[in-house]
Amino acid sequence: MATFTILNPDQIDADDSSSDEYYGNDFVMYKDREDWADIEPVKQNDGHHAIVSISYLPQYEDTYNYFRAIMAKEEISERALQLTEDCIRFNPTNYTVWHYRRILLERLKKDPIDELNYIHRIILKNPKNYQVWEHQKFMLRKIREKIERNEFDGKLTIEDVCQKFKQFIDKVLHYDDSKNYHAWQQRQWFIRDWKKFDGEIDFTEKMIDHDIRNNSAWNHRFFVIKNTTGFSFDIIKQECEYTMEKNRLAPNNESSWNYLFGLIKQSDTKIESFEWILDECQTMYNEQTDKTLCSPHLVYFMFRFLTLKMESLIENDDGGDNDKNSETMKSLYEQAVDYCEKLAKSIDTVRKNYWNYQLEQLKKFYAS
């Protein structure tokens, strides 16, 4: 019987029973369990001359010996499902165990909501484990299929799942690591697949305010705009203004400068439409009296902006007013060279070889 209840993330605690704690003196070996007496355990085959033999805990070895046995006979049963849970406690990264568990869940017609609540506890304990996130994705798909077939009699809706899922991701990002790749990747999969982009821009603002250097939050913001409003000129201008505010707060934040450059690259309008950004950047640059303390990301942005202007001059050259264009090109080139040399010689000397390479590429471009 389905429960229809996805637990509120505040009700979920990490499954903190480690293998050492859970499988202590109270653990009964599978080989000593009467209800498993009909199964002949299958030991791990490391070959005749194993180079390195892993010293497993006896409980671990016993559990996996029986797991290999039930897999070999393709057993579909409640005890097999419980066995996978014990295997997961020992090793939650084992793909084969998760795969077989999914087979069991489907064949035994288990409630996907109960399993979702289960996997949430496992994720909180193992937030950097690829397999647990993939298992959650599988369960979410199953829940959606049931909703679309009205198997929950309207007691569970897409909106209910969306709300709890986003709350859970929020908890993971604050509980463990606000840059957790798996959490961000799965959130992007979910909102695109389920078409639930509502509130995502506000969410990125909250995460950026929490940690302005969170590259994942900036990436998510770009992803949301690309899949919703698109990059119209008005949206790009609005986003550029927002990003420049953040750049003034944290000029050494590479994430926001990359986001800003990405916005400009998305625009179909002439680069001159964004001249105000270069002016603001040059103001920030000039305000720093000791240039060795300038943000390398600020200077690199100005360098890249100038190269875009040079490319634009070439693309839009109609053959007229060549002297003016030549003079403008020379001025842009000299300014770009100056920025690049400062990066190599004083601002970011650790990466001087990279900046010298960029300078070499710029000179080749200008010479051509």
Per residue in 353-368, pLDDT (tens digit) is: 999 999 999 999 888 7
Is the pLDDT at 3 greater than 60, yes or no? Answer: no
Q: What is the pLDDT of residue 16?
A: 55
Which residue in the list 128, 146, 179, 237 is annotated as catalytic? 128
Per residue in 78-133, pLDDT (tens digit) is: 999 999 999 999 999 999 999 999 999 999 999 999 999 999 999 999 999 999 99
Is the pLDDT at 240 greater than 70, yes or no? Answer: yes
The domain limits of the chain are 1-152, 273-368
CATH of domain 1-152: 1.25.40.120
Q: What is the pLDDT of residue 7?
A: 73
Q: In a 3-state reduction of DSSP, which class is residue 318?
A: coil
CB 240 within 8 A of CB 267: no
Q: What is the mean pLDDT of residues 313-329?
A: 73
Q: Which residues contact 159 (CB under 8 A, 6 or more apart)?
A: none
The pLDDT > 70 percentage for the chain reads 93
Q: Rounded CA gap, 158 and 52, in Å?
A: 50
Under the banding of pLDDT at 50, 70 and 90, the label for residue 322 is low
pTM over 0.75: yes
More confident residue, 57 or 321: 57
Q: Which residues contact 334 (CB under 8 A, 6 or more apart)?
A: none
Is the pLDDT at 320 greater than 70, yes or no? Answer: no
Establish whether 128 is a catalytic residue.
Answer: yes
Q: Rounded CA gap, 54 and 51, in Å?
A: 10
Q: What is the pLDDT of residue 10?
A: 72
Helices 296-315, 322-342: axis angle to 10 degrees equals: 160
Per residue in 248-301, pLDDT (tens digit) is: 999 999 999 999 999 999 999 999 999 999 999 999 999 998 988 999 999 999
Q: Rounded CA gap, 184 and 322, in Å?
A: 50
